[in-house]
Structure 1
Amino acid sequence: MSLQWTIIASFLYVEIAVVLLLVLPIASPKSWQRLFKSRFLQSLSSQASIYFLVLLAILVLFLLDAIREMRKYSNIETGEHVHLNTEMQGNMRLFRAQRNFYISGFSLFLSLVIRRLVTLISAQATLLAQSEAAMRQAVSATTTAKSLLAQKSSGESAQNDSNEAHDKAVSELKNQIKGLNKQISELEAELQKEKKDKEAVTSQAKSLVQEYDRLSEEHAKLQSSGDKKVE
């Protein structure tokens, strides 16, 4: 394997490891959010989109090169008049082109998967933080309402003039509580949607890993059959 394809294959292995880290329940979304907002990553975030587009362009170029090689060596004529050594070399080059196609294709696909996983995890962490803040506001508003109601019931005989103001404050607090409960319900619905999206991406990533293992086994079988032919 040439140097450039060795680098692409190593990059693919790193991508598989990153996908497994993001998919497995190793850390909570808040922990990943803190990592994403670290100083080092924040320093790169301003140019992250440029780096990502450059990476995609490089992977697309390698993918197109692999496709070109596959088409080139797929059109090699085979027959009795062709020397066995020439045919073996052609098949070997075709196999290498197919291997490079799968390596570059999976690398390109996993790059998109990782970007989507990071986006979903960040959105989930944000929704969790918003939900917790809304819950704290609801608890605070409920406590205030109960306190006002208790004060109203204990000093009703001595505070007839302030009953109207208390009722208005209680009504406003109840409206706030209803609004906060509605906001909590919406946030929970959005959180469930993000969890479903994450599970779908997780399932795709697992299928991708299984497909890669299967291709690796086929690679090993083809290589062993090729060695037998050479002997």
Structure 2
Amino acid sequence: MTLQWTAVALFLYGEIVVSLILCIPFISAQRWRLVFNWRIWNWLSPYWNRCFFTMIMVLIVLFLDALREVRKYSGPEPMQDANLNPNLYDHVLMKLFRAQRNLYLSGFSLFLWLIMRRIVTLLNQAAVTLESSDGLQAQIDNAVKAAKQHQEDNLKLKHALLEEENSTSSKNQQVRLEVEELAGQLKTADEAVHKSHAEVEAMKRQAKGLAQEYDRLLTEHHQLQNLQSAEDKKDQ
């Protein structure tokens, strides 16, 4: 294996290890977000896109080269020459095997390189989504608590209004009873006043009759005195 394909193989093995680490289930996306926010990554972030696209171009070139080698050694002409010479046949098969191996190495390296970038992006998005969901959950909990508090306040207000209405109705009933009682007392007083007026009128009439009787008796008394004085004068 040449140096470049040895490097591609090591790169592929490293990608496999990193992908397995990123896929560990008990490491949450938020922890990975903390790791991705280290200062070293912030320092490397300006060069990350260049490195990423450079590796893609290198792997694509190696993949196309390996594909060319596979098509070269799997064509009809090398196989026809190999059928004439058994040693050449083994050499062609060895070249074909190496070309296919290189094709797989470069292809899987390119595939895993894209998958790793996608995994990192999804982990960051998942962490942001979890943080947003936590914030939304906190807002929802606060809103639910506020709604429950408002509901309790409304119930208390309703109870207070009902109690006030009941107390007002009882007060109105009491006032109505007092008004009816006062009306009865007023009616009784009016009847007593009318009765008093009637008694006064009767007493006035009785007093008038007594006065007339007194005048009549006084007149008769004067008449009797006049008669008596007249008889006394005759006797003298």
TM-score, normalization: structure 1?
0.62
State how far apart, in whole Å, the 2-side matches of 1:79 and 1:142 are. 82
Identical-pair percentage: 39
Q: Which residue of 2 aligns with 1:66?
A: 66
State how far apart, in whole Å, the 2-side matches of 1:80 and 1:150 are. 92
Match of 1:46, SS? helix
User: Aligned-pair distance for 1:152?
Assistant: 5.9
Q: Which residue of 1 aligns with 2:92?
A: 90
State how far apart, in whole Å, the 1-side matches of 2:156 and 2:84 are. 105
State how far apart, in whole Å, the 2-side matches of 1:140 and 1:50 are. 45
Moved more, 12-21 or 98-107: 12-21
- The 1:141/1:104 distance shift into structure 2, 3 A limit, reads same
Flag structure 2 segments of 5+ consecutive residues without an equivalent. Answer: 162-236
Alignment RMSD (CA, Å) = 2.2
2:111 pairs with one of 99, 109, 117: 109
User: Aligned-pair distance for 1:123?
Assistant: 1.1
In the alignment, is the contact (CA less than 8 A) between 2:15 and 2:113 conserved in 1?
yes
User: Aligned-pair distance for 1:149?
Assistant: 5.0
State how far apart, in whole Å, the 1-side matches of 2:4 and 2:122 are. 32
Question: Higher helix fraction: Structure 1 or Structure 2?
Answer: 2
1:138 pairs with one of 132, 137, 140: 140
In the alignment, is the contact (CA less than 8 A) between 2:79 and 2:92 conserved in 1?
no
User: Aligned-pair distance for 1:24?
Assistant: 2.8
Larger Rg: 2
- The 1:133/1:143 distance shift into structure 2, 3 A limit, reads same
Q: How many residues align?
A: 158
User: Aligned-pair distance for 1:5?
Assistant: 0.4
Q: Which residue of 2 aligns with 1:166?
A: none
State how far apart, in whole Å, the 2-side matches of 1:16 and 1:26 are. 18
TM-score, normalization: structure 2?
0.60
User: Aligned-pair distance for 1:79?
Assistant: 5.7
Q: Counterpart amino acid of 1:18?
A: V
Flag structure 1 segments of 5+ consecutive residues without an equivalent. Answer: 159-231
Q: Which residue of 1 aligns with 2:31?
A: 31
